[in-house]
Structure 1
């Protein structure tokens, strides 16, 4: 996906109330931007980080600016807008960039499924092929103790919703369909992905169980800049 126009730069002062972030430009103009991220954003939103934002032309918006990227102390660019993950994955699917998910004729987003009233991010279908249910998760949590290892984790906070999604994917496999958990790595410093057992042990245990049940797990890392974000390469998932 392209940022048109390219994102503008500022310095992050603080992120608060989950959806707000105060920024200041180089010419000392301070403003509040919307932050589309419900997670803890551990290591992604420290005061003093470089920040990159877009500006909406919608006059009804209370906060016209949206925080899109930050840059940590190691120089890694991080996409903190969680809505971007599905957008870049959809583009990758449409452009046949994810080899494990190529060969389908139709792509539908936000389709209701499962016994727990869920919506799958993407449903892929083709004639004479099993349906493929694809759940997307954004990965931005880099190991705090050893960032140089490039080890990334999901989730960054306990997630009952994420546990539900794993159960739904297992159910799809049991019904004879394909079920895929796709980690979209939106942090330049992350080179491998694992379940964050130190944060949500139950999710990590369920993730291992899902793999044992036949749920496929892949991780793809994005190329990130102030002008575009695109899934560029597969990185290892280590259960």
Structure 2
């Protein structure tokens, strides 16, 4: 996924009201940018961190700039939770995720479960349907371990139960975690911040839900799906 224009670098002043971030650009201009991330952003919202923002040419937008990347310890972290689905769509079209290759149809936002929509439904004649839920992961607290979630994620736990139901009826069900960091090489569920989700992920795997983890290649010019990571259970 290429950014339409190279991102601009700046410094975070503050992130507040979840979806707002005050930033001073390298030329000294102070802006308020949209922060497309409803999570806690632990370790990524500290004043003074280097950040990268995009700018929309749409004159109707209330905020022209969007916070896209944060630099931590020399590594880049993607905080835009809208990107993983776009990245996975690109990867599916290119058969870049071997475990999910070979499906003729990749439908998005298909209704299923209890008033939910699956991120992707993959279909191919003579193969079981594949229900694919995508989760964005950007938390790292120690070493090179990525963790999800960074706060209580009741909706994500509900999605796991719905994937279990799909697996129970004979379909494939996959939870794909996209790690938007360049400094991680393994993944784990975050037991202390959301024990219910951590238990739910283990239960889902035991019930036949496939758990996949892929990293990202990030730069101020583009973001793409990278290599597979192990799940540290």
Work out whether the TM-score is over 0.5. yes
* Structure-1 separation of matches of 2:25 and 2:167: 50
Tell me if 1:210 matches 2:204: yes
Could you say what secondary structure the match of 1:171 adopts? helix
Find the counterpart in structure 2 of residue 127 from structure 1.
Answer: 125
Matched, 1:41 2:41: yes
The Cα of 1:6 is off from its aligned counterpart by: 1.1
In structure 2, C-alpha distance between the alignment counterparts of 1:233 and 1:43, rounded to whole Å: 24
Q: CA deviation at 1:45?
A: 2.0
Q: Secondary structure at the match of 1:167?
A: helix
Give the 5 Å matches for 1:29-178: 29-72=29-72, 74-114=73-113, 116-143=114-141, 146=142, 149-178=143-172
Q: Which residue number in structure 1 is paired with residue 221 of structure 2? A: 227
**Hey, what's the Cα distance between the residues in 2 that align with 1:4 and 1:59?**
16
Moved over 2 A (4+): none
Q: Root-mean-square deviation (CA), in Å?
A: 0.8
Encode CA deviations 1:184-226: one digit per residue, 9 max, x unaligned: 0101112111110011111101110000000000100000000
How many residues get paired? 233
| Whole-Å separation in 1 of the counterparts to 2:154 and 2:226 | 30
Partner SS for 2:80: coil
Give the 5 Å matches for 1:19-30: 19-30=19-30
Native 8 Å contact 2:8 2:25 kept in 1: no
SS in 2 for 1:205: helix
- Distance in 2, matches of 1:44 and 1:92, equals 27
Q: CA offset at residue 43 of structure 1?
A: 1.1
TM-score of the two chains, using structure 2 as the length reference = 0.98
Q: What is the match of residue 200 of structure 1?
A: 194
Q: Deviations over 1:10-54 (max 9, x none)?
A: 111110010000010122110100111100001122111111111
Return the offset for 1:123.
0.4
Match of 1:12 in 2: 12
Deviation, structure 1 residue 165: 0.1
Most deviating of 213-222 and 51-60? 51-60
Counterparts of 2:214 and 2:202, CA distance in 1: 19
Structure 1: unaligned runs, 5 residues or longer: none
In 2, Cα distance between equivalents of 1:140 and 1:159: 14
Q: Structure 2 unaligned runs (5+)? A: none
What is the CA deviation profile of residues 84-142 of structure 1, one whole-angstrom value per residue up to 9, with x for unaligned ones? 0111111111111100000111000110011x111000000000000000000011000
Using structure 1 for the length normalisation, give the TM-score. 0.96
